[in-house]
Amino acid sequence: MHPSRLTIKSLWRLYHSAQALLKSGQVQDAAHQFSRIAEARVRKPRGETYHGEDNPLVAQARLGLSYCFVEQGQLEEAQRQLERVLNLEPTNAEALCELAYIHGLRGNRPQAKLALDQAVEHNPECARAHKALGYFYLQEDDLDHAIEECRAAVQCDPSYDPAHVELAVALSRAGRFDEAVRSMHRALKLAPENAEYYFSLAALLRESRRTDEAQGVLRIGLKFAPDDCDLLEAMAEIQLENGRPEEAIQYAQRLLRRSCNSLAARDVLGVAYLQQGRINEALRMADQMVRISPMDPSHHFKKAVLFQQQGMMRQALDEFIQVLRLAPESEVGTEARQAIDAMDHQQMRQIVLLASEDAYFRAKLRRDAALAADEKGFCLSEVGVSMLQSLDFDALTAYGTVSMPAVYH
C-alpha cells in the first residue's frame, strides 16, 4: 500500500491535530496521525511529488512519534524515532533534549549529559536546552550549575515560564527562598491560569513560613481552578495549621468530592475531628485510610492510637502489632513497639494490684497466667504474657508500686 499523497496544507492540518490529540492524552490516535505525516507523499504545486526524508514535516512528525512512544513506555522505539530525526537534523535541540530524557529514564546519565551538552552547544539561544541541562544538574544535586543554566534559559526567553519554574526549584533547593518566590511569581504572571504554579508558589511560601501569603495565593488559584485537588489539599492543611479545624474540614470534604480515595483529605479530617473532640469520626477516617492503603503502617498506627484513646485496648494492640509486621525496623515501628511496651506495663500494674487483693485471681494466675488475665479483660502482647508468666506472685505488691503511663501518645 502506497503512502498517502497530501498537500502541505493538509500535512500541517494533520500535524496540529496530532499535537492536540497528544496533549489531550489520546496517545494512540496521535501516534497514528504522526505516522501518516511521516510516511506521506507530498504534492507539489505542479503535480510533482517527493516523499521519505524529503518530506518537510517528517522530522517534526517523528519527534511527535517519539513522545507518543515515551508515553506508552516504549523507550527503545522512541529512541529509534529520535535517531531518525537527528539523522535529518543533527542539531535539533528538541530532539536532543528528548533523547537525553530517554537516556535518563534508562539510567544512562553520561549519554544524557552528552546529548544536553550538544543541545546547548548547537543551540546556545535555546531556552529549552538550557532548562533541560539545568534540570539534569538539579538531579545531580549540582545546584550552582543548575541555577546558572536556568538563569540562562530565562535570559534566552523571558516568556518561557517553565524556565522560571525550574529556576525557582533550583533556588529553593539552595535555600534561597525569597529568590525562588520571585521566580515563581514571574512564572505565574506568564501563565496566570496554571493551577500547578499556584500550588508551587504556595508551597515555597509555606516552607519560608509565610503562611498568610500562601493562603492568599491558594485562594486566587482556587478561583481559576476551584476543583484542583492539590490546591484543595494545601488549603485544608493550612487551615489545620492555623488552628481552624472547621475550615479545614470544609476544604477536605471538597477534596473528597473530587477524589473519593484521597488519603490526604482523610488525614486532615482525622486530625480536625480529633481537635474538635470527635474521636469516633476521627477513628472512622483512620479506618478508611487503612482500607484504602492497608500496607501503609502509619495508617494502622493512627488507628491504634485512636482505639487506645477510646479505651479499646485489644483493638489498639492488634493495630500496633500490624505496624510491627509491616515495618518492624522503621521509625513508626519503633513507636509501635514502645506503645505496646507501655500498654503491657500499664496492664501488668493493674493485674498486680488486682491480684494482690484477690487471692482467687492470684491462684488462677499461678495455674495459667495468660488465661486468667484474658478472662479479666486484659490484652497483653506475647512479650507481656511472657513477663506475666515470669512474675514472682509472692512479691506482687512490690511490683505494683511501679508507676506506668496510662496512654501512649
Q: pLDDT band at residue 53, thresholds of 50, 70 and 90? A: very low
Q: Does any domain span residue 54? A: yes
* Residues 224-231, mean pLDDT to the nearest whole number: 96
Residue 100, amino acid:
A
Indicate the pTM of the whole model.
0.79
Q: Please say whether the beta carbons of 86 and 52 come within 8 A.
A: no
* Residues 81-93, mean pLDDT to the nearest whole number: 94
* Residues 384-407, mean pLDDT to the nearest whole number: 63
Instruction: Tell which wins on pLDDT, 353 or 159.
Output: 159
Q: Please say whether the beta carbons of 107 and 101 come within 8 A.
A: no
Helix (H, G, I), strand (E, B) or coil at 49: strand
Q: Does any domain span residue 33? A: yes
> Looking at residue 399, what is its pLDDT?
46
Nearest to 69 by CA among 55, 57, 84: 84
Q: pLDDT band at residue 363, thresholds of 50, 70 and 90? A: confident
Q: Does any domain span residue 18? A: yes
Q: Does any domain span residue 81? A: yes
Number of domains in the chain: 1
Residue 360: pLDDT over 80 = yes
The 10s digit of each residue's pLDDT in 191-211 is 999 999 999 999 999 999 999
Which CATH number characterizes residue 44's domain? 1.25.40.10
Residues 141, 147, 152, 153: what is their CA dihedral angle, to the nearest 10 degrees?
70
* Residues 244-266, mean pLDDT to the nearest whole number: 96
The 10s digit of each residue's pLDDT in 304-318 is 999 998 889 999 999
Nearest to 236 by CA among 211, 216, 253: 253
* Residues 267-291, mean pLDDT to the nearest whole number: 96
Domain span including residue 68? 1-89
Compute the mean pLDDT over every residue in the chain, rounded to the nearest whole number. Answer: 90
Listed in sequence order, the residues at least 6 apart from 173 whose beta carbon sits closer than 8 Å to its beta carbon are: 138, 141, 143, 146
Instruction: Tell which wins on pLDDT, 403 or 346.
Output: 346
Q: Does any domain span residue 27? A: yes
Cα–Cα distance list, 19 to 77, 342, 363 (Å)? 19, 61, 82
Which position has the grid cell 485471681?
361
